[in-house]
Amino acid sequence: MARPNEEVAAVLQEYADLVAITGGDAFKARAYEKAARAIGGHPSDVSKLDIDGLREIPNVGKSIAEKVVEFLGTGRVAAFEEIRTSVPAGVRELLTIPTLGPHKALVLYEELGVSSVDELLDAIHEERLRDLKGFGEKTEQNILHGIELMKKAGGRILLSAASDAAERIVADLSRIDGCERCAFAGSLRRMRETIGDIDVLVAADRAEPFMEAISTLPYTAEVIARGSKKTSVRTIDGLQIDLRVLPPDAWGAGLLYFTGSKPHNIRIREIAVRQGWKLSEYGLFHGKSGKKITSETEEAIYAKLGLPWIPPTLREDRGEVAAGLRDELPTLIEEADIRGDLHTHTDLTDGLASLEDMIAAVAERGYAYYAITDHAPNLYMQRMTDAKILAQREQVRKLDGKHRKVRLLHGTELNIGPDGDVDWPEEFLAGFDLCVASVHDHFKQNRAEQTRRLVRACENPAVSIIGHPTTRLLGKRPGIDADFDEVFAACARTGTALEINAHPERLDLGDEDILRARRHGVKFAINTDAHSVMHLPYMRYGAGTAQRGWLTKDDVINTWPLQRLRRFLRPSGHGR
């Protein structure tokens, strides 16, 4: 498509949206929308056309053609300016939510001042929509569903959404007669941070009942392709699922093949070929006779190739095959090794749960220790004060030991200012058991400035952990630009841990940065940054990401016994 066509289409579509959102003439809005689509899809460059030429495009009448000419000549349309300045850009973003109409978008804006998708999510979670006329819990669900759809439309979906869907499907297929095994494979089993499609495997003698079942499940919206070995469907949430049914004796070979990654598969196939063997999704075979060597389990196939079983999170062709041949694979950290969460929030700031509820939920998870790290004063909207945090500390000290097994640490999440300063002076900071420090603003500073502020935060003796170090939001916001090798070196030098933030929208640090940081000899903390008890289970995504970064228990400070952890947090022995 020619570039001017795109620009004209965008400006007409914007006008249509503005008319709709301000409750204007629906007929007019539709007319502009149709014209936008027609011009966007027009095969030749519209900037070369005059008014008459433009009017030959379907759905483009005199008045619209004149506005297009005006736009192409001056870069603006006078008639659009007034309505445009009356509606902030963020409100238009609301219209991209497929389940939110212009009328409701307008109410949200006028009544609650909501002017972006993120603000809308906040408003829903704070239950502020419930007070609006015409909005109920059902509306909330619809909007949340729409936002999820929108996020998925970006192509890849978050690990958390894919995990939830896959677990439900595996459970449903496992109940069908003749199902000998059922599991998910692909990038989801490797716990990549985002997932393209969900690969589900079934071991059964007859494929047909499973192909039929996946095609007719209540959450299946569309059957993309149906065959005797593979069926692909799209769910009502827009996820693609590939189901493959394998002969039961080829389970291991199929699981290995469809777990991937492709480069890992190629690497191990090379080993087979060097032996004169053939490796496929059906098994490991002699090249000449075609006789089967083995196929039933992954372990057996790896073993024949001279390899230990390689955890799926390592199967990215990042040296795991060579390490396996030397028998030097790391003993990866597991979620069960985690003894406590070191970055969480309560309703004293922007968390949803009370301190007591958070502690009860943490005790339930069997943690040995737990840090409360509410936001510090420089994140102004959280309204933290010295008095509030000290009162919280007193409460924490009182509750400590009430749940016999969980020891409580009182901390805070400091804000790393543009110069690397943090919220409180040294004496005040010394009163905390631990301080996480994170970047929450000034994302646009240049590389040298970002590097310096992070390094200065590391050098602050009170700071033990750098929270969500890159500040990226998957599918929404790239990380800040900094020389992270320099930051990682500073962490190693100063004994500051890097967080692996386990929130599925963050996973920050991500696997590749973890690998880099590890080479500097840095320690890590896997934290959920929970803002509600519902977020505490996100720990599994953090553990998976740490595995993808080849980390062992020893690399991760919140797998350590409390005494060792305390020595790391307060090396000079001051504080409690």
Site of interaction with Zn ion (CB under 5 A): 413, 529
Task: Return the number of the residue (320 or 413) whose C-beta is nearest Zn ion.
Answer: 413
- Residue nearest to ligand DGT according to CB distances in the complex: 260
Residue 342 interacts, among Zn ion, Ca ion, ligand DGT, none and using kind-specific CB cut-offs from 5 to 8 Å, with none
Minimum CB separation from ligand DGT for residue 529, in Å? 25
Distance of CA 556 to the CA centre of its chain: 21
| CA dist., res. 347 & res. 359, Å (int) | 13
Residue 529 interacts, among Zn ion, ligand DGT, Ca ion, none and using kind-specific CB cut-offs from 5 to 8 Å, with Zn ion
Task: Return the number of the residue (100 or 279) whose C-beta is nearest ligand DGT.
Answer: 279
231 binding ligand DGT? (CB under 6 A): no
186 binding ligand DGT? (CB under 6 A): yes
Query: Which span (171-179, 186-194, 414-422, 549-557) binds ligand DGT, by CB under 6 A?
Result: 186-194
Residue 266 interacts, among Zn ion, ligand DGT, Ca ion, none and using kind-specific CB cut-offs from 5 to 8 Å, with ligand DGT
Minimum CB separation from ligand DGT for residue 259, in Å? 6
Q: Which two tokens stand for residue 104?
A: 């409701």
Q: Which two tokens stand for residue 196?
A: 């393209």
User: What is the three-class DSSP state of 340?
Assistant: strand
Tell me if 566 sits within 8 A of 340, measured CB to CB: no
Q: What is the Cα gyration radius of the chain?
A: 28
Residues 6+ apart with CB under 8 A from 408: 359, 369, 370, 371, 372, 396, 397, 399, 400
| CA dist., res. 540 & res. 557, Å (int) | 16
Minimum CB separation from ligand DGT for residue 70, in Å? 45
Q: Bridge partners of 548?
A: none
Task: Return the number of the residue (197 or 374) whose C-beta is nearest Ca ion.
Answer: 197
Task: Return the number of the residue (265 or 373) whose C-beta is nearest ligand DGT.
Answer: 265
Residues in contact with Ca ion by the rule CB under 5 A? 186-187, 197, 199, 242
Exposure class string for 461-479: b at 16+ Cβ within 10 A, else e: bbbbbbbbbbbbebbeeeb
Candidate residues 80, 184, 251, 258; the one interacting with ligand DGT per rule CB under 6 A: 258
Q: Bridge partners of 477?
A: 473
Long-range pairs for 290-298: beta carbons < 8 A, 24 or more residues apart: 294/252, 295/249, 295/250, 295/251, 295/252, 295/253, 296/249, 296/250, 296/251, 296/252, 297/251, 297/252, 298/252, 298/255, 298/256
| CA dist., res. 139 & res. 100, Å (int) | 9
Q: How many residues bind ligand DGT (CB under 6 A)?
A: 14
Query: Which span (15-23, 254-262, 302-310, 548-556) binds ligand DGT, by CB under 6 A?
Result: 254-262
Residue 89 interacts, among Ca ion, ligand DGT, Zn ion, none and using kind-specific CB cut-offs from 5 to 8 Å, with none
262 binding ligand DGT? (CB under 6 A): yes
Candidate residues 235, 265, 295, 313; the one interacting with ligand DGT per rule CB under 6 A: 265
Alpha-carbon distance values, 549 to 30, 311, 318, 360, 544 (Å): 51, 12, 10, 31, 9
Residue 265 interacts, among Ca ion, ligand DGT, Zn ion, none and using kind-specific CB cut-offs from 5 to 8 Å, with ligand DGT
Task: Return the number of the residue (34 or 181) whose C-beta is nearest ligand DGT.
Answer: 181
Q: What's the number of CA atoms in the CB half-sphere (13 Å) around residue 273? A: 7
Tell me if 412 sits within 8 A of 437, measured CB to CB: no
For the segment 190-219, give every residue that binds ligand DGT (CB under 6 A). 192, 195-197, 199
Residue 370 interacts, among ligand DGT, Zn ion, Ca ion, none and using kind-specific CB cut-offs from 5 to 8 Å, with none
Q: What is the DSSP string of 263-275?
A: HHHHHHHHHHHHT
User: What is the three-class DSSP state of 503?
Assistant: coil
Minimum CB separation from ligand DGT for residue 240, in Å? 8
Tell me if 363 sits within 8 A of 403, measured CB to CB: yes
Task: Return the number of the residue (264 or 345) whose C-beta is nearest Zn ion.
Answer: 345
Residue 413 interacts, among ligand DGT, Zn ion, Ca ion, none and using kind-specific CB cut-offs from 5 to 8 Å, with Zn ion
For the segment 112-171, give every residue that binds ligand DGT (CB under 6 A). none
- Residue nearest to Ca ion according to CB distances in the complex: 186
Residue numbers of the site for ligand DGT (CB under 6 A)? 186-187, 192, 195-197, 199, 257-258, 260-262, 265-266
